[in-house]
């Protein structure tokens, strides 16, 4: 549990560094107001004496309270951490690289680079149940209560913020910002779908037991066996069907090639897997819990048997109540 928590926060740190790079080196030099808290901060910075990093911190703080109340403490804790990192990274960049000029010398290239890098960072955060704060919090709330795709929710919230650019910029800035926001929403959905996609592999082979052993004991994935009959020669076969990540699929293909196993393999892409697919880490824990539970059950059944033999229960109703109370200990 502690290891997973540390890993999550390290992942958040990496994601926020990526997002901060996108904002400072590509969004800010472009001068385009996108549908983000940073975009809103850029507008407010024009009409106030506050810096972009300070305004980003204040706006995020207000939205964080909303996120904790409506989404939950875990999401809130991770997002608080992420939100603190964003102004911190921006402040560091302001000191190290104060003359923030465009690296590409082209606003279009700046925006394209910003959108891709930002979407990648956002996707990493969403996968560990966190966000960068700001509009991502609102998007998460919309996603939770309306089941709208995260990318579409980001787009909806972003377009509303884009309209604030009219305060200090012209209509052209609004159009460019809106297009950038739409592109960002599409990129987020693209990266999320990419992370969720899996490979469904169907294998026909006389050595299916060897392949099954490799998949289950080395790759630690489940396998379903089906009986199949050849349409031409009516020969009976056993088909293996498994679902795994792309990197695991490559390992399987390499194993089949190196082992010189004769097999007929078909592969298809699965857009999403729902259920108990990714429970590899819980297998050993489940085995231990089952063993413990079986020991407890054996003990309790023995206990109930002895007490019943000694007639310690006044009636069957008392006996049933004792059983019910006993199983509450599991």
Q: Inform me whether the pLDDT recorded for 14 exceeds 90.
A: yes
Q: Are residues 36 and 161 in the same domain?
A: yes
Q: Are residues 188 and 74 in the same domain?
A: yes
Q: Are residues 171 and 236 in the same domain?
A: no
Q: Inform me whether the pLDDT recorded for 317 exceeds 60.
A: no
| pLDDT for res 110 | 86
**How many structural domains are present in the chain?**
3
| pLDDT for res 42 | 79
Q: What is the mean pLDDT of residues 290-302?
A: 46
Q: Which CATH number belongs to the domain containing residue 240 in this structure?
A: 3.30.70.120
Q: How confident is the model at residue 296 (pLDDT cuts 50, 70, 90)?
A: very low
Q: Closest Cα to residue 12, out of 22, 23, 24, 4?
A: 4
Q: What is the mean pLDDT of residues 101-121?
A: 85
| pLDDT for res 45 | 85
Q: Are residues 227 and 86 in the same domain?
A: no
d(CA 225, CA 238): 6
Q: Are residues 109 and 242 in the same domain?
A: no
Q: Of the residues 196, 217, 239, which one is the last residue of a structural domain?
A: 196
Parent domain of 237: 198-270
| pLDDT for res 203 | 93
Q: Inform me whether the pLDDT recorded for 123 exceeds 90.
A: no
d(CA 34, CA 174): 8
| pLDDT for res 292 | 46
Q: How confident is the model at residue 244 (pLDDT cuts 50, 70, 90)?
A: confident
Is residue 308 a part of any domain in this protein?
Answer: yes
Q: Of the residues 173, 196, 219, which one is the last residue of a structural domain?
A: 196
Q: In this predicted model, what pLDDT tens digit does every residue of 23-69 receive, in sequence order?
A: 888 888 877 766 777 778 878 888 888 887 788 778 878 888 888 88
Residue 202 host element (H or E): strand 198-204
Q: How confident is the model at residue 210 (pLDDT cuts 50, 70, 90)?
A: very high
Q: In this predicted model, what pLDDT tens digit does every residue of 273-284 receive, in sequence order?
A: 776 656 554 444
Q: Closest Cα to residue 43, out of 57, 28, 24, 62?
A: 28
Q: Are residues 238 and 299 in the same domain?
A: no
């Amino acid at each position: 549990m502690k290891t997973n928590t540390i890993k999550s926060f390290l992942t958040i740190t990496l994601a926020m560094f990526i997002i901060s790079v996108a904002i400072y080196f590509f969004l800010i030099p472009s001068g385009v107001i996108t549908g983000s808290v940073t975009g809103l901060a850029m507008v407010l910075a024009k009409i106030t004496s506050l810096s972009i990093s300070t305004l980003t911190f204040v706006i995020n703080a207000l939205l964080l309270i909303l996120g904790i109340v409506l989404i939950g403490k875990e999401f809130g804790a991770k997002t608080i951490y992420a939100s603190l990192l964003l102004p911190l990274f921006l402040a560091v960049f302001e000191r190290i690289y104060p003359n923030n000029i465009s690296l590409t010398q082209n606003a279009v290239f700046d925006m394209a680079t910003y959108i891709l890098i930002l979407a990648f960072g956002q996707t990493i955060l969403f996968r560990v149940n966190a966000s960068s704060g700001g509009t991502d919090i609102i998007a998460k709330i919309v996603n939770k209560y309306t089941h709208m795709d995260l990318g579409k929710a980001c787009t909806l919230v972003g377009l509303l913020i884009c309209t604030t650019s009219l305060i200090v910029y012209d209509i052209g800035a609004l159009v460019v910002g809106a297009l950038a926001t739409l592109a960002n929403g599409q990129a987020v959905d693209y990266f999320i779908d990419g992370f969720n996609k899996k490979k469904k592999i169907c294998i026909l082979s006389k050595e299916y037991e060897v392949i099954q052993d490799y998949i289950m004991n080395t790759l630690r994935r489940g396998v379903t066996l089906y009986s199949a009959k050849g349409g031409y020669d009516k020969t009976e076969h056993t088909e293996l069907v498994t679902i795994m990540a792309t990197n695991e699929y490559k390992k399987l293909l390499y194993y089949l090639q190196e082992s010189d196993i004769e097999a007929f393999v078909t592969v298809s892409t699965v857009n999403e897997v729902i259920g108990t697919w990714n429970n590899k880490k819980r297998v050993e824990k489940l085995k231990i819990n089952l063993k413990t539970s079986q020991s407890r059950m054996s003990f309790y059944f023995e206990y109930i048997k002895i007490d019943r033999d000694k007639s310690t229960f006044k009636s069957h109703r008392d006996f049933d109540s004792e059983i019910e109370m006993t199983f509450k200990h599991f």
